Structures are given as C-alpha cells and as structure tokens.
Chains A and B, each alone.
Chain A
Amino acid sequence: MSGSVAADLLAQLAAIQVILPLLAAPVCVLTGRGGRAWAVALVVSWCAFLTAWGLLSQVLDQGVIRYELGGWAAPWGIEYRIDEINSFVLLIVSGVSSLALIFARTSVAREVPEEKRSLFYCAWMLCLTGLLGITITGDAFNVFVFLEISSLSTYVLVSLGSHRRALVSAFRYLVLGTVGATFILIGVGLLYAMTGTLNMVDLAERIPPVSQTRTVYAAFAFLAVGIGLKMALFPFHAWLPGAYAEAPSAVTAFIAGASTKVAVYVLLRFYFTVFGASFAFGELRFELFLMPLALICILIMSLIAVYQNDIKRTLAYSSLAQIGYMVLGISLVSVAGLTGGIVHLFNHALMKSALFMSLGCVFYRVGSISLASLEGLGRRMPWTLGAFVVGALSLVGVPMTVGFVSKWYLIFAAIDRGWWPLAVFVVLTSLIALAYVWRVVEVAYFRTAREGSAQAEAVEAPVLMLVPLWMLVAASVYFGLDTSLTVGVAERAAETLLGSGR
C-alpha cells in the first residue's frame, strides 16, 4: 500500500508545488506569533524546494510533465505543464526563498515589529505561491492570477521596510505593477478573443492562422510592455531601485533573486512558446525591440550604480543592468545566447541574493548601509564582507565564479553571430561593475572607522545569517567550476524553446 501512496504523491507533485505554500499562508496567520510562523514558512519553503528538485529530475528523465488540475482535461481545464525551463526556474525561486527564510529569522526580528511578523510570513508564502504558480502553469490567464497574488503580496512585503519611505516605494511599485499586470491581462484577453482558448499549447497552435491581424499585433505589444514593466527593463525600470532599497533586507534578498527572474521566464514563455520563435522573432523582429533596450539598460544602469551612496541602491541598479544581460542573451535568438540568458537567471539569483544578504548583515549590526557606514568593516565583520567580495567578483565576472560562466556564454554567443562589438561591450560594462563594487571593497578594507561610530564597535553577524549567506557564496563558486547541471539544463531549455517555434 505504502508504495502506491508514494507513487500517488509523486504523481501529484505538480499540484503540491503550489498548494503547499498557498495553504501555509493562512496557517502562518493562525499561529499568531512571529517565531512559529517563521518555522512554518521555513519548513514549507524547503518542502517546495524538494518538490521542485523532484520535478526537475523527473523532467530531465522523462520529458515534459502534464498535470490536469481537478481532472479537467486541457484545453478546457487548467493544465500545469512542466518542461526544462520552468522546472529550472521553480528550483531557483524555491531555493532562494528557502535560503532567504533562514536568513529572515534574525534579520526580520530587528526590522519588522513583532505584531506584524506572522502577517509578514503569510505575505511571503503568498508571494512564493504566486511566483511558483506563474512558473508552473500552462494557462495564460492563470499566469495573470498568480501574477496578481505574487505582486500584491510583494507590495505588502516592501511596505514593511524600516523607513517610512518604504510606503512610498511600495505605492509606486503598486501603481506600476498594476499597470503592468493590466497590460498583460489585456494582451491575454486579445489573444483569447482571437483564438477562444487560454491554454498556452493550444494558443500556440491557433495563433498562426490569425497571426496577421491587428488584434494579435496589439496583444503582442501589450504583452511586451506589460512584461517589460514586471521585469523592470529600461525604460520601465524606475520603480525597482526604490522597492529594493526600502524593503526589509530578507525581502530584498528574496525578490532580487526570484521575482524578476520569474518575469524574465514569462517573457520567454510568451514569446517563444505562445507566439513561437519564428513568428515573434522571424516575422515581427522582436529582438529589435529587446536588444536596444537591453544595451541601454546595461550601460546606463551600470553607470548610475557607480555614483550611488546607498549600497542597496547600487546593487538595485546593478540588478537592472543584469536583467539587461539576460535580455541581451535572449535577444540573440540562438541556442548559445539563450543558454547564456537562462544560465544567468540562475547565476544572478545566487550572487545577488548573497550580496543583498551580506548588506542585510551589515544593516543588522550597523543600522545603515550607506557607503560611509561600511568603513573599516572588512576587519570587524570578516565573514560578511568576505562573502560580499566573492559575490562582487562574481558580479564582475571573474573566472571560477558563476558570473564568469554567464559572461562566457554571452560573449561566445555574440561572437558566434559575428557581432563582436557586442562582445567588447559586455567586457567593458563588466569593468564598470568592477568600479561600483570596488568602491565598497575600498571603503570596507582600506579605511578605518571613525571613533565612536556604530561601525567601529560592530561585531560579526549572527551565525544564522551567515550560514545561508555562505551557502549561496559556496554555490556561486561551485557552479562557477562545475557547470554540468546549470549549463546542461539551460542548454536543453534553450533548445526546447527554439525548437517549439519551428
């Protein structure tokens, strides 16, 4: 009997992936206390991570998993459809959430008042539900529903930041996020009007006969701008620095690693699977929309990052630039380029979460993360700043870190197409990254703190914060050396995405 129970459970993995965190959200509220809510969230998040791991290995073994929700057959019912690309993103999202939750315990205890903590973890669970749901579903309207779940909970999480400015940032994010979601809804609605279906695979089959209509063109444009807003591509980026900088440290580590990645995934899904590569890129030349924005995004955001005094803002602008790199990889529309973009999804999640966590440690001890407050911390908090240095090296793309692997594939893809000013561009902008992280290293290691300042008395951060931080750092070195998992999956995903359009 037990064997068949396990087999039943295994067959329901796809549903468990989303239901578990969804159910955990009200449980968090019911516990009423921060510590218990945290424990619930942590356990559920790790379960979600194991589930994602199980799904990924199942996909790698047996190919695409299709799961019909409630037994309603597609295209009428909602179908979960899991292939290489979204199982990979599921793994990233649940992994970052699990590590950030370990980190959150101590960090949140300082930044969020006790009476709000159970609600905080409830919002976190909802956000996780939303992000996993967007990724796993094979239904275009379902994407919108989960997008709203994750966005609304993210607004709440951002607004819990320790300054009152957090409220303004959350409101700005709310307005822009809603506009983006609305555009996506309009896009999906227009497609539904033309095809009468919402199932993605079904859409992919039914769009070609009607593809030369203005309605489909309009859907194309609405989705492009809507998703652009969600993933903060230039010029739709302006909400992001405020939201990242003002959110509680643990939340920044989570959403920086997970939520924009999911938006990039949505872009891949709609334009490669639903519209199909040959229509979106072959006919409508979507890359001509993406690539200029990506290039401007990388250059301008990197330069702005150099001059920020709030290091969280520096990293937020750097995240914008990194999204530019991912989009750049996608806009090359080749297996190598897509591989670079997808592998950068993973790699950037590792390094940016690690960097934001190490700033969280600094904030925990010093109470500020302006450049000046980092003076002399290299000696006082060696583990925290050591992790920052490794993450920073990875951001620059130094060999033996994950950042190098992504840049390698991007440069390779650019040269492969014969566009090698683009390769030079990638290398030069990496140098700008060196400039903005070097400022931190210089202040932390080569200046001494003023007498009597908070940083002169700071001690090393608590172990519970350092453990997830160093797990990420170790991963960002490990996956810089052993690329068989990340690049292997990304390559297969890229081939699937390109293949599905032909």
Chain B
Amino acid sequence: MSGFAFPPGLILLFGGLVLPFFDSNGRRIIVLGLPLVTLWALWGVPDGPSVTARLLEYEIVLVEGDRLSRLFGTIFTLMAAAGGLFALSSARTVELCASMVYAGASIGVIFAGDLITLFVFWELMAVGSTLVLWSAGTVTAYRASMRYLSIHLLGGVVLMAGIAAWVAATGEIQFGSMTGALSAGGLKAAGAWLILAGFLLNAGAPPLSAWLPDAYPEASPSGMVTLSAFTTKTAVYVLIVGFAGTELLIWLGLYMVFYGIVYALLENDMRRILAYSIVNQVGFMVTGIGIGTVMSLNGSAAHAFTHIIYKALLLMSAGAVLHMTGRRKCSDLGGLIQTMPLTATCGIVGALAISSFPLTSGFISKSMISQGALDQHLTFVWFALAAASAGVFLHAGIKFPWFVFFQKDSGLRPAEPPMGMRVAMVIFAALCIILGVAPGMLYQILPAPVDYVPYTGEHVVAQLQLLLFSGLAFFALLPLMKRTLTISLDWDWCYRRLGPVLARALGSFILSADRIFRDAFLSLLRRGLEEVRAYYGPDSIAAQTWTTAAMVLCAVIALGLYLILLYA
C-alpha cells in the first residue's frame, strides 16, 4: 500500500460536506463507515513525506507519516466513529457535518508535513469546531461560539505571524522540532515563540485557558463529546513534534493541572466540571512534553490516547444524563443510578480511568509521565503531579459520579438513553478496561519502544493509597463539597506535603489574578474602543464630508509642502 497517495484527513472532510445530501440510512453508513476507512487509510501512510504539491514558491507536504501521527490518527478516527454513533440519535445535521469536518481537519494537522498545510487545517479545525458549538442552537451557545471563534482566530493570526517570521528567517516551511530555535535570538526565535504561543492557545494554556470551560459546556450533549477530543489533543501533538523538552512547558503544564482542579472543585455544573478537567488533563500532557525525555513523551502521547477515550466516556455519560433530564447542575441531580444503571456504570468506569485506578487505562499512561519526572530527578514536579492525581480523583473521579448518580434522591426517574448512545458508551468503557488490563496493546504503537512496567507492587500500592485517602477526604468533607462555595478542602488530609494554606492561597491567587487581569483588559478595551469611535465614528472630523474647497486646499497645501521639501 505504499502507493497510497491521498491525505487521510480529506476523507472525513469531504464526507462531512456531502453528508447533508443523504437520507438517514446513508448518513448512518457515512458517519460510522468513513472513520474506519480513514483508519485503514492512515495505517497505509508510509513513513516520511508521501504527498507533495507546489504552492507559491514552496513545496508543501500534504501527508507525512510517522509512528506518532499514526497513533494520534488512530485515536482520532476511533473517536470520530464513537462520537458519531453517540450523536446520530440526537444531533442536528449541521452538527454531524461539522463534527466530521472538524475531525477531518484535525487528522489533516496530524499528518501535515509543513507549516502551511498545518496552518490551513488548523484554521479549518477552528471553523469546524465553531460550527459544532453553534449547532446547539441556543442563544448562549451562539454567544459562546462567537467568543470561542474570536479567541481561535486570534490564535490563528499569532500562529500565522509566527510561521511567516519562521519562513522568512529560515527559508524552510518544513515542520520539525523548534525547541532549539527558541533561544537562538533574532527573527527565527521570534517566529518559534509566536508559533509556540499559537499552539499553546489551542492547548488551553494560561493566560487564556478560560476559552475552553467557557465554550464547551454550551455545546449540545453530543457536541461536547466531539469537542473534548480534537482541538486540545491536536495541540498536544504539535507541541510534541515542535517543542519537546521546552522547560517552560513544565511550569505551564503544572499551572494548567492546578487551574483545572481548583475551578472544577468550585463548579456545580457537571459538564463544566468535566471541561475544567480537560484543562487539567492536558496539563499533565504538556508537563510531560516539557520534561522531554523518551519516557515522558511516550507518556504524553499515551495519555492523550487514553484521555480521549475516558473523557469522551465521561462526557457521554454526562451528555446522556443531560439529554434525558435536561438538567446539568449537580445540585439538581442525584440518585439516577436507580433508573440509569448502564449510564451510571459507564460514568463510573470513566471516573476510575481518569483517576488512574489500577486496571483502567488512565493508570498505564499517567504513571509514565510521573516516571519521566522521577527519572530526570525533577522531584518537585513529581510531587506536584502526585498531588494533582489526588485532586483529579476528588473532582472528576468522585465528585461527578457521586453528585449525579448517588447523593440524595432528586426524584428524577429518567430512562436509559437511546440505543446509539448506549452502544457508544459501552464500547468506550470496554476500551478503558481492556487498555488497563493489557497495556501492551497501547505500548506497542507508541512512538518509541516502551521500557516501563506499570503493574509493579510499588506502583499499585502507592496509587491505591493515594486514591484511598483522597476518597476518604471527599466523604469527610462532603458537607463542604455540597455547598460547592469554597475550596477550603484540607488538602493535607489527602496529601500531607501540600499544606492547606498553600492550597487556599493558590486557589484565591488564581481566582483573583484571573479576575484582575480580565477586568483590566476589558475596561482597557472598552475605553480604547470609545476613543476610536470618537475619532473615526460617523460624526468625527475624519469621516465627515469635506467641502470641495477644503479638498482643493488640502491638495494645494500638499503640493506646496512637497515642493518645498524637494527644493530644500
């Protein structure tokens, strides 16, 4: 199959565009079949550049395969298929189309061999995801999608500026590691920094992390499942390729880890909890990329793989609840296990996986990142990651299932969701457990050979201890959690090394810094716009109709001045 010469991303992209012209049976075949065709196609992509074309004066590489891109391509196509299955019964046509275009574009990014191709697919991804958001059809979703779009267009502009500078400095459009260029100085470094900034924006890194929890929860139940997978993980992919080993990423990643936890603990809306949790999980991956060893990069890639599955599973379970009850606040839900046992079970499997419970997929991937930190003697990073694992268990592992499926009885008696949703959930739940039980399946397709055994007595016992104590903490602090007004959790209960003072200070610092920054920015923007309007609005001098005499006078004065200048 070495002769295969077609960008695999385009299959889904075109599929999305023709989807509206089919009836419901045809759509079912397209939505489920095309991702599998894509999967087949991308495993046929040979290593190295395989499809090239000429644009302007550059040789662009539409398809370039390697182990890493095939790994990401695999999970993206699986996700597109399962997400499509979940969406089929409830989503609008626009959403199905947009989801396919969005998935296709992100696969396009994964296989792009040069910066121009990457940029084009990058922007298509922004458009596709905005349409997914928009298709929820509510006013809040429309507003959120516009905020989302403006942030991503801004990111696109930054990225494009970076690419332009990079190309001008190096004359190359090839996409490869840029870590070394960051400290090179001059135009090359400026280009690399701008490209990094563009990538990080999509990863949900500070200071603009807020776009993610702001936008995603406004999507439809199935829309959010799709959204959770592609944008941030594509960013993880390009960071692995372009900026592995950039130390700054360790600290940005840790910030994201704790940002996600703090806000998720404060949140009452189940899907917002899970949205913050995406930032938190991507933080783990970004940290791994920053460490930059073979072990940690493998870990980040593996974590992206497993995270897509269990986060989609959690969001499917939350989406099913939302679809059947129309409610999304934890305080309005509870006791749903009685009538939705399957949804609850799948949600719990996802919750266990995200908490890295042994025998689930999270355990075999996240521990590789921690191991990477340990190998490099980054003790502080290791401690922070371990502490964060406990935090993840608190907000996503227990808080979400407890408040939605157990807690008090809310009196709601919804039925199980439609067939498609159930099948999608069961498949992903099964994948979570299969990968956890047989880690070799994932390890053998990772970019580098894996020299790591997850199931040693030490690992398992340490992880169980961590989970046990944070579980205890949750129930001990249940009265506090219920009000969800404060973050004064006694963190030393679950992890003694991070004192309660620090936790509280960090929490309030993040909150207030975020608020101050945002307020200052907004008021500055508002004042600036008023000024601009005063000078250029319809009644301003600049825009008024000039009299004929004034125009002629202006021309004559300009002539006079220019003559004087030339004579002088």
Contacts and interface: CB of A to CB of B under 8 A. Distances in A.
Contacts of B567: 214, 217
B48 to A, nearest CB: 26
Contact of B552 (A179, A214, A304, A412): A179
Contacts, number: 99
A217 B555 contact: no
Contact of A300 (B533, B536, B551): B536
B41 interface: no
Nearest to B164: A411
B165 interface: yes
A427 B153 CA distance: 12
B123 interface: yes
A218 B551 contact: no
Nearest to A180: B555
Contacts of B548: 171-172, 175-176
Contacts of B532: 303
Given A239-B551, A416-B168, A221 B559 contact: yes
Contacts of A454: none
A242 interface: yes
Main secondary structure of the interface of B (DSSP, over half): helix
A487 B566 contact: no
B559 A420 contact: no
Interface in A451-502: 483, 487
A423 B555 contact: no
Contacts of B540: 304
A361 to B, nearest CB: 25
Nearest to A220: B566
Interface string B193-210: 000000000000000000
B543 interface: yes
A289 B538 contact: no
Interface in A216-269: 217-218, 220-222, 224-225, 228-229, 235-236, 238-239, 242
Nearest to B536: A303
Contacts of B559: 183, 221-222, 225
A247 B305 CA distance: 60
Interface in B191-243: none
B554 interface: yes
Contacts of B545: 238, 242
A235 B538 contact: no
Given A176-B551, A309-B538, A225 B558 contact: yes
B537 interface: yes
B29 interface: no
Interface residues of A, number: 49
Contact of B533 (A179, A228, A307, A487): A307
A229 to B, nearest CB: 6
A172 B554 CA distance: 14
A306 interface: yes
B390 to A, nearest CB: 44
B157 interface: yes
B524 interface: no
Interface in A165-182: 171-172, 175-176, 179-180
B127 to A, nearest CB: 10
Contacts of B119: 399
Nearest to B153: A434
B375 to A, nearest CB: 41
Contacts of B161: 423-424, 427
A284 interface: yes
Given A175-B552, A179-B552, A236-B554, A308 B538 contact: yes
A289 B562 CA distance: 8
A20 to B, nearest CB: 35
Given A308-B538, A399-B119, A411-B164, A236 B56 contact: no
Given A408-B56, A487-B56, A225 B538 contact: no
Given A284-B566, A415-B165, A487-B56, A235 B554 contact: yes
B266 interface: no
A427 B552 contact: no
Contacts of B380: none
Contact of A304 (B157, B165, B543): B543
Interface in B138-162: 142, 153, 157, 160-161
A225 B123 CA distance: 42
Given A172-B548, A303-B532, A308 B543 contact: yes
Interface in A402-445: 405, 408, 411-412, 415-416, 420, 423-424, 427, 431, 434
Contacts of B558: 225, 228, 235-236
A176 B164 contact: no
A427 B157 contact: yes
B1 interface: no
Contact of A221 (B165, B552, B566): B566
A229 B536 CA distance: 22
Contact of B157 (A179, A229, A300, A431): A431
B538 A415 contact: no
A50 interface: no
A218 B563 CA distance: 6
Contacts of B120: 399-400
B187 interface: yes
A416 B187 CA distance: 11
A348 B550 CA distance: 29
A446 B134 CA distance: 12
Interface string B524-546: 00000000110111101011011
Nearest to A415: B168
A183 B153 CA distance: 45
Given A183-B559, A225-B562, A483-B56, A307 B538 contact: yes
Given A217-B563, A224-B562, A172 B551 contact: yes
B562 to A, nearest CB: 5
A300 B540 CA distance: 12
B164 A238 contact: no
Contact of B123 (A218, A221, A239, A399): A399
Contacts of B187: 415, 420
B405 to A, nearest CB: 39
A304 B536 CA distance: 5
A404 to B, nearest CB: 10
A448 to B, nearest CB: 13
A171 B552 CA distance: 13
Interface string B73-89: 00000000000000000
Contacts of A306: 536
What are the 4 tightest A-B residue pairs by CB atom distance, in nearest-first order? Answer: A303-B536, A238-B546, A415-B168, A225-B559
Given A176-B552, A289-B562, A300-B542, 10 more contacts: A172-B551, A183-B555, A221-B566, A235-B555, A235-B558, A303-B535, A303-B542, A400-B120, A405-B56, A487-B56
14 contacts: A175-B551, A176-B548, A214-B567, A225-B559, A229-B555, A236-B555, A242-B545, A303-B536, A308-B543, A309-B538, A408-B56, A420-B187, A423-B164, A423-B165
